[in-house]
Amino acid sequence: MAELMAAGEEPEILFWVGCAGSYDERAQKITRDICKILHHVGIKYAVLGTEESCTGDPAKRAGNEFLFQMQAMTNIEVLNAYNIKKIVTGCPHCFNTIKNEYPGLGGTYEVIHHTQLIQDLINEGKLKAEGGESFKGKKITYHDPCYLGRGNGIYEAPRKALEVLDAQLVEMKRCKSNGLCCGAGGAQMFKEPEKGNKDINVERIDEALQTNPQVIAAGCPFCMTMLSDGIKLKDKEQEVKVLDIAEITARANGL
Amino acid sequence: MVAQILFLVLTLAAIALFTVNLRKIIRNIRLGKPADRQDQPQKRLMTMLRVAFGQSKMVVRPIPAFLHFFVYIGFVIINIEVLEIMIDGLFGTHRIFNGLGGLYNFLIGSFEILAFTVWVSCAIFLIRRNILKLKRFSGVEMKSWPKSDANYILITEILLMSAFLLMNAADAKLQLLGASHYVNAGAFPVSQYLINILPSSESALVIVERSCWWFHIIGILAFLNYLPYSKHFHILFAFPNTYFSNLEPKGEFTNMASVTNEVKAMLDPSFVPAETEPGKFGAKDVTDLSWVNLMNAYTCTECGRCTSVCPANITGKLLSPRKIMMDTRDRITEVGQNIDKHGAEHQDGKSLLDDYISREEIWACTSCNACVEACPVNIDPLQIIMELRRFAVMEESQAPGSINAMMGNIENNQAPWKYSPADRFNWAQES
């Protein structure tokens, strides 16, 4: 972003990568695929690079409003300094926080999640499912991330992105507004679960496996971790792939 | 005449007692912190009409939705009959509305059918709770009083409907006998089948008819006064509760204004914050919660839809969103009783956090909003959990160790993991 600024240019959209997308090895692949999609359709985008910083979401959900607002205000200063208007995020948590909680602190932007961007590009005819891996007839089940689905009512965009694949979409018993959490939200990602008789991600994987899928589609790096761990635990890594909507889109287009 | 005076006294006493208790509850709710829920009145009204009147969130579970609809519609419509009972009781008349002719017959006939469907629905509800023992109605918080409360309500409704139908049957038989005072009025599609089980002498029938009439109205007055002590309070509070419910996206958590001032002052020393009252961060006790949270607690009818979809509860953790609401109501009731007994300044040394809700419960929440989505009357248990977390973290620094480590990482590395900020852009180099 600093380079664009120095060249006196402004991006159409800022890609907010997020901490998981920046550091987590698995999520880095998703990040790169989102970049490939942006590049493929010729959108002029920028990233903040080392100037990006945690949105403060996990701190806020853990109850630390101080730390959240410190992070938020620092980020808003950076975003406003670059005159950012539109943001696409690779993570529903970043998406929810910047979209809903930053405006009250002085940061108002048009914020979309990457599955919404993909939906828009498909609707505009800029993105198809051609020239790459065929998902035709494959059984895919989509896991709704809480902060995209119930948190913000976005159920259709990710499904739309899957519909163009001509695959066989199967819904889990608990889906859309009734979707079951992967177990990572509310800062659970960063702690051991409380005492119980089962891990939440295992409960979810059991349900996903009931649909007999070849692909479990995700839209959140935390869900990705939880679902992948579940699949590993069930020893189903060979039969079932957990893929982000961005990865599926990139593969289908041979990017 | 004696009957009319007795009726008047009973009615006034019941209304007075109910008013006293209702005012206490409203006072208790007002012990909560302010929350602005006055915006967008039109949208609020539509939400109330859709969710409370229209029962839109009940349909997710069709069987109870169907049965509950009968009880709900029966409650609303049969209350028209209560108006007639009130007038008859006060003026010593009998079936005062019979002048409506065909319409009256239609109304009474409809009430009878509704009374019958209410009766059957309540019986099925009792079977679901006590014989089929549905999982949703069990749980640590559903022992003793809450369990009995549900059964008392259902039995009372069955008794009230039985009295109503038996009263009509006796009335119909008296009409057939041509008894004086019993005008030919009403249609009796259900109670006609009860006529044969009744005695045939006129005096005995009058006793049955009058007993049922009195039982029915005294039952209703007693039930009215049972509401403030019961989960059944939802029949009234569902309406304001949905009206004042959150209209923003569920993922959005409030930004604490008191924190904003401090953070602004830290980032910019020249910033002078507007005067705000010093208070604690988050909630330790019910009086630290907002009035909306407290109204939510009084509205909860303990149906357990929240708990049955809670990922933590499903996987055997201690957290139950229903228990969060019940604990909040029990505690605010206790705080209210303390005020009544010992005055407003009294402290009993207890608090919602620890004495009612444990740390283990609040730290089991994934903030997934499933409980909020599932509630048929828009109750928000998540907000209470978050306020308790805020207190634990910001006032006490009592978070689980790994949460503290995560927050330390954000402070030092601007990421929840221990990675260097300088490495944040490394993802672009590899592939």
Specify whether A70 is located in the same domain as A167: no
Residue A123 within a domain: no
Tell me the per-residue pLDDT of B191-243, one tens digit each, with 9 for 90 and over.
Answer: 999 999 999 899 999 999 999 999 999 999 999 999 999 999 999 999 999 99
Specify whether A9 is located in the same domain as A34: yes
Specify whether A104 is located in the same domain as A139: no
Listing DSSP states for B345-405 in one string gives T---S--HHHHTB-HHHHTT-----HHHHH-TT---HHHHHHHHHHIIIIIT----HHHHH
Q: Which domain holds residue A80?
A: 2-118
Residues of chain A in contact with residue B281, where contact means CB-CB under 8 angstroms, are: 65
Q: Between residues 39 and 98 of chain B, which touch chain A (CB distance below 8 Å)?
A: 60
Are the C-beta atoms of residues B280 and B391 closer than 8 Å to each other? Answer: yes
Tell me, yes or no, if A187 comes closer than 8 A to chain B by beta carbon. Answer: yes
Specify whether A104 is located in the same domain as A182: no
Residue A80 within a domain: yes
Listing DSSP states for B218-263 in one string gives HHHHHHHHHGGGSGGGHHHHHHHHHHTS--S-TTPPPPPHHHHHHH
Which tokens belong to B55? 């029962």
CB-CB under 8 Å, B311 with A203: yes
Specify whether A154 is located in the same domain as A71: no
Specify whether A157 is located in the same domain as A196: yes
Check pLDDT > 80 for residue B277. no
- Of the candidates B176, B177, B158, B164, the residue with the CA atom closest to the CA atom of residue B209: B164
Specify whether A150 is located in the same domain as A196: yes
Residue A124 within a domain: no
- Of the candidates B17, B401, B414, B407, the residue with the CA atom closest to the CA atom of residue B223: B17
Domain end: A91, A118, A145, which one?
A118
Residue A212 within a domain: yes
Specify whether A170 is located in the same domain as A67: no
Dist CA A78 CA A2 (whole Å): 11
Specify whether A108 is located in the same domain as A154: no
| SS3 call for A128 | coil
Q: Please tell me the distance in Å from B308's CA to the nearest CA on chain A.
A: 11
Specify whether A141 is located in the same domain as A57: no
We report the CATH number of the domain holding residue A190 as: 3.40.50
Residue A184 within a domain: yes
Residue A166 within a domain: yes
Domain end: A55, A85, A118, which one?
A118
Specify whether A145 is located in the same domain as A248: yes
Dist CA B81 CA B107 (whole Å): 9
pLDDT, averaged across chain A? 95
Are the C-beta atoms of residues A163 and A252 closer than 8 Å to each other? Answer: no
Cα B269 versus chain centre, distance? 47
Q: Between residues 317 and 356 of chain B, which touch chain A (CB distance below 8 Å)?
A: 317-319
Which candidate in A1, A15, A17, A23 is best for mutational testing of the B interface (most B CBs within 10 A)? A23
Q: In the predicted model, what is the mean pLDDT of residues B406-427?
A: 95
Dist CA B231 CA A249 (whole Å): 50
Among B85-89, B224-228, B378-382, the range scoring the smallest mean pLDDT is B85-89
Q: Compare CB distances from B250 to A59, A70, A151 and report the shortest one's residue.
A: A151
Q: Between residues 65 and 104 of chain A, which touch chain B (CB distance below 8 Å)?
A: 65-67, 69-71, 73-74, 96, 100-101, 104
**What pLDDT score does A166 carry?**
92
Split at pLDDT 50, 70, 90, the class of B430 is low
Q: In the predicted model, what is the mean pLDDT of residues B248-262?
A: 93
Q: What ipTM, to 2 d.p.?
A: 0.95
Dist CA B185 CA B258 (whole Å): 66
Tell me the per-residue pLDDT of A184-222, one tens digit each, with 9 for 90 and over.
Answer: 999 999 999 999 999 999 999 999 999 999 999 999 999
Domain end: A118, A151, A185, which one?
A118
Starting at the edge strand found earlier in the chain, the sheet holding A13-16 runs A45-46, A13-16, A86-89, A110-113
Among A14-23, A68-77, B97-106, B127-136, the range scoring the smallest mean pLDDT is B97-106
We report the CATH number of the domain holding residue A87 as: 3.40.50.1860
Tell me, yes or no, if A50 comes closer than 8 A to chain B by beta carbon. Answer: yes
Tell me the per-residue pLDDT of B278-300, one tens digit each, with 9 for 90 and over.
Answer: 678 999 999 999 999 999 999 99
Residue A18 within a domain: yes
CB-CB under 8 Å, B410 with A59: yes
Specify whether A102 is located in the same domain as A154: no
Domain count, chain A: 2
Residue type, B49: L
